[in-house]
Structure 1
Amino acid sequence: MDYNYRLDLSSLSKELRLLLEILKTEDYDSIGLVKKELYIDIDWEVFLQLASYHRVYPLIYSKLKRADDNRIPPHVIQTLYKEFKKNTLQMLLLSGEMEQISELFTENQIRLLYLKGPVIAADIYGDISLRTSKDLDILISITDLKRTEELLLSIGYEKEVVPTVLNDWKWRKHHVVYFHPQKNIELEIHWRLQPFPLKEPKFNELWERKRVSTLTSYPVYFLGKEDLLLYLISHGARHGWFRLRWLLDIDQMLRKGLKLEDINLLISKYQNRKLVGQALILASELLKTHMNDGWEKLTEGNDSKKIAQNAIEFIKGTESLATIMSSKYYKHYSLSLNSNLQRFFFFLILFYPSSKDLMTLRIPKPLHLLYVPLRPFLVVWRKTRKPS
């Protein structure tokens, strides 16, 4: 990494600094060696809120419980333990559902790859209790979408109803959500890894590089190492890395010795060097992730440094995803991630009718093509009308 370059971390709260210090301390016995000044005037409620917000409380708890550090108030450990136990039960529930869904889909000749969830926790951390997951993310071929919906509805899942016009979901969406009210489990069925127009491998290519998990007795397939790393990087970048959990994933994968030569071709092919550089800078600066010279070369671009610094604004806060993604700052940040060609396609999509147009002006379905010429006027109308 360019050691003359450092992120400006002056805006980070003392609670977040302590959280980061604990996360990047590898040796449990060394937790007690964390600088004493980091514990001064800590608001432990804020510390707990940040551990929950960043979804890192399982790892924080696993470190603190073995550190026997009397500088940590007992109620903090107890709160972390309750959340840790709750998450472990959730991951066990998701593991069972993951296996059942895999068996059901395989029996019906539908190929699926798990993107996140217990299978990723086991692969990256070696223990499903050390990573959180609220749902199961599944990637399938877009040609299997209809059959997938039929299968899930047949076993009690309900599909999230999202208005659509002129099949705009193909351009604006990359997944659909299903929820099982009895099991209280949510599935995200993806037909793309990331929203269009981000460039990515085809499903068949990902399937050829798939791995099989040893977590369950029935075969469960998930992304190859290189594909998983690039997916997690793109996902984290797109969300402004507002969860430290995503950076921890990158940190853990690199610590396991992932070789650059195995991923360089994919980085070049799918034009995400800037995002990889951003992730490496953030992981190195915030978590002290070690990387060899090959990886360090990917951090040298000014674009990577700029978007890494911009992401700090999301990492330091406690705002919801909805609030973050609706902000002007995020919209500017999001555009900065894309290449010039991707920006062109992004703006092109803006002229395609959306469900918002459907809600603004109801037109009978046979006449939905009228939304194309009406789109600019409807956008202006929404922006100028006063809230009632």
Structure 2
Amino acid sequence: MRADLESCALLRAIARSSDAKQVPRLAANVRDWNSLLELAEEHRVLPMLFLRLVDMGPPVPQFVLEHLRTEYETNMFNTLANAVELIAVLKAFEDKMIPAMPFKGVVLGASIYHDLTTRPAGDLDLLIHYRDLVQATTVALERGYELETPVNADGTPANLDYYEYHFERKTDGRVLELRWRLDPTMPRFRRDLGLDWVWPRRRTTVLAGADVPDMSPEITLLMLCMHGSKHVWSRLLWICDVAQLLASSPGLDWKEVTYEAKEAGLSRTLALGILLARRVAGATVPQAILQCFEADTTARLLAQHIQNNLFDAPGSTPPGHIPYNIQLLDFRDRVRFLLSMDLLRPNERDQAVFPLPKSLHALYYLIRPIRIFLDRSAR
């Protein structure tokens, strides 16, 4: 169902701190408050909406304020419970000498929003070493969690292409996810973006009175852009997170960010996240960086499509012959993708038609397309 224009306009203003003065006028224009509440919930910005509207007065109906207040207080309780549980899990891991890096969720709220209640309470996400997975699983089970991910008899993952263990605790509904790699949109070509990537640059964030490890702003920015791009930026919250990180990190090392993005094959993913944060949430971006990302035609067109469809068709990918996840790849990873496809992978027939010494077998990647073309032309 198409989102109504008044609700969309208000949520856009909620996302942009520079539009704060416009919020009362836009709130007065809202005709379908139930539609607004549904849209805000879908985009995970109900807490933000409450904080902007709570003191506004007459333009906001009482039933809307009551609903928002109830949701806000429920989220506040769940967020504080998540913080307490995360601190306890980290302490249990520390006792077993298991390094663990929390990300997203309550740590993100504490580090960039400086307010746990601004973001919805989500899962507990921890990045660990794969070598610690079995021991970390034991700790989680001892804390009452149940493993929902299929595993082998020795506790190793049943699916080697899956880099996450998902735990649920039935007594309170808490969800814990242990990861040993962060995942771009194209898992097959990811670098090993694991704990070794984030741990040396870590900082400390105060969470509910306790010091907890936290990713550096530079790595956090790349992680947020990775996560948002993986889900086609289908939630306004994820765009707000990028904008808020930029606002809370005036000393961000852009040289390090762009270098790490290039090394990890995330240059276009970074560009897309920054362009959306600028266009949708009004983020402040250094002019030279913005010009560089705007010069990327593919990133610019992707950002325009996502911006245009954010509320009416969230998560939709641009039409065309090139899949969205391939468009996010830089040239080097696109080549790797093409070379990995069975269609272009040399086989015994190629070697039979064009015998070459072993030292020249790499040439079969060039010969195979020609051989396929000749075969099809002869039909």
Q: With structure 1 as the length reference, what TM-score do the two structures score?
A: 0.77
In the other structure, the counterpart of 2:92 is 104
In the other structure, the counterpart of 2:297 is 302
In the other structure, the counterpart of 2:47 is 58
Residues 279/158 of structure 1: CA separation in 2 closer, same or farther (3 Å cut): same
CA contact (8 A) 1:103 1:218 kept: no
CA contact (8 A) 1:12 1:316 kept: no
* Deviations 1:314-336 (CA, angstroms, capped at 9, x unpaired): 622477x8xx79x9999932332
* Deviations 1:290-315 (CA, angstroms, capped at 9, x unpaired): 22213313322101112213324662
In the other structure, the counterpart of 1:261 is 255
In the other structure, the counterpart of 1:273 is 267
In the other structure, the counterpart of 2:7 is 15
Deviation at 1:350, TM superposition (A): 8.3
In the TM superposition, what are the counterparts of 1:291-330 in structure 2 within 5 Å? 291-300=285-294, 301-312=296-307, 315-317=310-312
Q: What is the letter of the counterpart of residue 285 of structure 2?
A: M
Of 322, 325, 329, which residue of structure 2 is paired with 1:334? 325
CA contact (8 A) 1:299 1:305 kept: yes
SS where residue 170 of structure 1 aligns? coil
CA contact (8 A) 2:243 2:283 kept: yes
* Deviations 1:246-305 (CA, angstroms, capped at 9, x unpaired): 111111111221342342321222232211221122122212222221331332210111
- Rg bigger for which structure? 2
Identity %: 24
Corresponding pairs, count: 333
Q: Structure 2: how far apart are the matches of 1:214 and 1:45?
A: 37
CA contact (8 A) 2:48 2:118 kept: yes
Deviation at 1:17, TM superposition (A): 1.9
Q: Structure 1: how far apart are the matches of 2:321 and 2:306?
A: 9
Of 62, 73, 79, which residue of structure 2 is paired with 1:85? 73
Q: Structure 2: how far apart are the matches of 1:246 and 1:317?
A: 17
* Deviations 1:327-361 (CA, angstroms, capped at 9, x unpaired): 9999932332223554566678887xxxxxxxxxx
Deviation at 1:180, TM superposition (A): 1.0
CA contact (8 A) 1:53 1:318 kept: no
In the other structure, the counterpart of 1:139 is 127
Q: Structure 2: how far apart are the matches of 1:269 and 1:209?
A: 16
Deviation at 1:96, TM superposition (A): 0.6
Q: Structure 1: how far apart are the matches of 2:66 and 2:321?
A: 36
Of 159, 168, 175, which residue of structure 2 is paired with 1:186? 175
Q: Structure 2: how far apart are the matches of 1:349 and 1:150?
A: 37
Deviation at 1:114, TM superposition (A): 0.4
CA contact (8 A) 1:241 1:311 kept: yes
Residues 240/156 of structure 1: CA separation in 2 closer, same or farther (3 Å cut): same
Indicate the structure whose relative CO is greater, using CA pairs within 8 Å and at least 6 residues apart. 1
Deviation at 1:103, TM superposition (A): 0.4
Deviation at 1:14, TM superposition (A): 3.3
Residues 41/204 of structure 1: CA separation in 2 closer, same or farther (3 Å cut): closer
In the other structure, the counterpart of 2:160 is 170
Deviation at 1:77, TM superposition (A): 1.7
Deviation at 1:49, TM superposition (A): 0.6
Gaps of at least 5 residues in structure 2 are 343-379
SS where residue 283 of structure 1 aligns? helix
In the other structure, the counterpart of 1:198 is 190
Q: What is the letter of the counterpart of residue 214 of structure 2?
A: F
Q: Structure 2: how far apart are the matches of 1:305 and 1:272?
A: 15
Residues 79/216 of structure 1: CA separation in 2 closer, same or farther (3 Å cut): closer
In the other structure, the counterpart of 1:153 is 141
Residues 157/350 of structure 1: CA separation in 2 closer, same or farther (3 Å cut): farther
Q: Structure 1: how far apart are the matches of 2:68 and 2:299?
A: 35
Q: Structure 2: how far apart are the matches of 1:331 and 1:87?
A: 40
Residues 21/217 of structure 1: CA separation in 2 closer, same or farther (3 Å cut): closer
Residues 317/329 of structure 1: CA separation in 2 closer, same or farther (3 Å cut): farther
Q: Structure 2: how far apart are the matches of 1:41 and 1:120?
A: 31
CA contact (8 A) 1:198 1:342 kept: no
Matched, 1:42 2:31: yes
* Deviations 1:351-373 (CA, angstroms, capped at 9, x unpaired): 7xxxxxxxxxxxxxxxxxxxxxx
Residues 343/13 of structure 1: CA separation in 2 closer, same or farther (3 Å cut): farther
SS where residue 169 of structure 1 aligns? coil
Residues 330/147 of structure 1: CA separation in 2 closer, same or farther (3 Å cut): farther
Matched, 1:241 2:229: no
Residues 127/159 of structure 1: CA separation in 2 closer, same or farther (3 Å cut): same
Gaps of at least 5 residues in structure 1 are 1-9, 352-388
SS where residue 165 of structure 2 aligns? strand
CA contact (8 A) 2:127 2:194 kept: no
CA contact (8 A) 2:45 2:119 kept: yes
* Deviations 1:85-138 (CA, angstroms, capped at 9, x unpaired): 110001001001001000000000100000112111011111100011321111
Residues 111/23 of structure 1: CA separation in 2 closer, same or farther (3 Å cut): same
Matched, 1:228 2:212: no
SS where residue 54 of structure 2 aligns? helix
Q: What is the letter of the counterpart of residue 174 of structure 1?
A: Y
Q: Structure 1: how far apart are the matches of 2:158 and 2:309?
A: 29
